[in-house]
């Protein structure tokens, strides 16, 4: 490993306000580490060119506009244009804490890896809805805490809202594929197959805004569920029993409600205990009663949305052997 030269790669689609917040956070980064920022406008009808121009005096910025081919292909485009030897990929709805780059640099200089992921956190300025969804997506009692920084797994599958990738790993792997969502675990699995380590840097968190409503949250987690059986079919060694948990949770809850009608209430009571536990954990971590209540709804939406998508895709792709690109065309982009 030579001297680390960082290039931040940020695809954006119709989100100039988000880019302004993210670029503002770059100005506050601690340390004297040099870096460049490559922003790739993915065919937006509302572009962020003027926002970028306002920051070019203070930051080393490059801006490119291309046709809409999805976030994965836009990240590949940005990495091809970048001048660094280590890429850090961010979503446009993220805000960096002051210590972010210093934390990443310290880790990589002492324990170098070709690919890392970092967790996400909720900033104090986020709405109650954003905080509740963040809890559901990161808590130890929902996702096992992996997205929230509770895993040290050396086969960790980074998520591209906060992901690092060496130039050599990008060139050897070819970067992201056309599926979305799911392009990040697909790349992680291929990197592992090529002999590259992928790890979680727990301290390298970002504030992830999740520009979202309840409806959009359901649509997002439903897509996550649809994608996982496709990835399992592409990478059979990546299959895990834990991927079934949201489906089993949802089917179990529905069965418990039906059984309660016939006087069998103990299964429903078990779910009640889980919800109460989740409520108090959310209350302790957020210190907000409204967020704690909304977290219960967020957990249910997450499990039902993902669980239903996973079961549907498993039947169609794994059992009936339907071609994913034909069955779920909205999950795939075409390369430029």
128-138 vs 266-286: helix crossing angle, rounded to 10: 120
Each residue's pLDDT tens digit, 125-173: 889 999 999 999 988 888 754 444 444 456 788 999 999 999 999 999 9
- Minimal CA–CA distance to 37: which of 106, 121, 94, 112? 94
How many CB atoms lie under 10 A from the CB of residue 45?
7
- Output the furthest CA–CA distance in the chain (Å, rounded): 70
Q: Is the link from the previous residue into 198 a cis peptide, with omega within 30 of 0? A: no
Q: What's the pLDDT at 1? A: 60
Q: Which two tokens stand for residue 101?
A: 């780059």
Residue partners of 36: CB distance under 8 A and separation at least 6: 6, 7, 8, 60, 61, 62, 82, 83, 84
- Give the right CATH number for 6-118+158-212 from 3.40.50.1100, 3.40.50.150, 3.90.550.10, 1.20.1560.10: 3.90.550.10
| 94-181-48 Cα angle (round to 5) | 40
For CATH 3.90.550.10, list the domain ranges present in the chain.
6-118+158-212
CB distance 78 to 46 below 8 Å? no
Q: What's the pLDDT at 154? A: 61
Percentage of the chain beyond pLDDT 70 is 96
Backbone φ, ψ for residue 256 (5° rounding): -65, -40
Instruction: Write out residues in the chain with pLDDT < 70, as ranges.
Output: 1, 144-154, 211, 335-336
């Amino acid at each position: 490993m030579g001297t680390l030269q960082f290039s931040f790669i940020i695809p954006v689609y119709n989100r100039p306000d988000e880019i302004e917040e993210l670029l503002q956070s770059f100005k506050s980064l601690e340390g004297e580490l040099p870096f460049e920022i490559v922003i790739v406008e993915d065919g937006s009808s509302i572009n962020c060119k003027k926002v970028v121009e306002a920051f070019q005096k203070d930051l080393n910025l490059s801006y490119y506009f291309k046709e809409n081919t999805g976030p994965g292909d836009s990240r590949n485009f940005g990495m091809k244009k970048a001048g660094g030897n280590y890429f850090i990929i961010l979503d446009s709805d993220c805000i960096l804490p002051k210590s972010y780059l210093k934390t990443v640099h310290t880790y990589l200089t002492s324990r170098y890896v070709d690919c890392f992921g970092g967790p996400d956190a909720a900033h104090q300025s986020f709405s109650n809805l954003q905080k509740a969804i963040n809890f559901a997506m990161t808590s130890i009692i929902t996702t096992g805490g992996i997205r929230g920084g509770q895993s040290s797994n050396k086969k960790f599958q980074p998520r591209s809202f906060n992901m690092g990738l060496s130039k050599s790993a990008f060139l050897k792997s070819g970067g992201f594929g056309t599926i979305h969502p799911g392009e990040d675990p697909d790349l992680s699995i291929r990197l592992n197959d090529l002999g590259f380590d992928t790890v979680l840097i727990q301290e390298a968190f970002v504030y992830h805004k999740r520009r979202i409503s309840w409806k959009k949250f359901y649509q997002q987690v439903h897509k996550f569920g649809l994608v996982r059986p496709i990835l399992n079919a592409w990478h059979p060694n990546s299959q895990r029993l834990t991927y079934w948990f949201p489906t089993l949770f949802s089917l179990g809850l529905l069965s418990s409600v039906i059984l309660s009608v016939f006087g069998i209430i103990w299964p429903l009571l078990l779910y009640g205990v889980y919800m109460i536990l989740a409520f108090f954990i959310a209350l302790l971590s957020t210190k907000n009663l409204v967020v704690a209540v909304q977290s219960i709804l967020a957990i249910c939406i997450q499990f039902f949305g993902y669980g239903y998508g996973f079961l549907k895709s498993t039947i169609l792709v794994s059992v009936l052997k339907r071609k994913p690109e034909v069955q779920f065309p909205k999950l795939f982009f075409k390369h430029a």
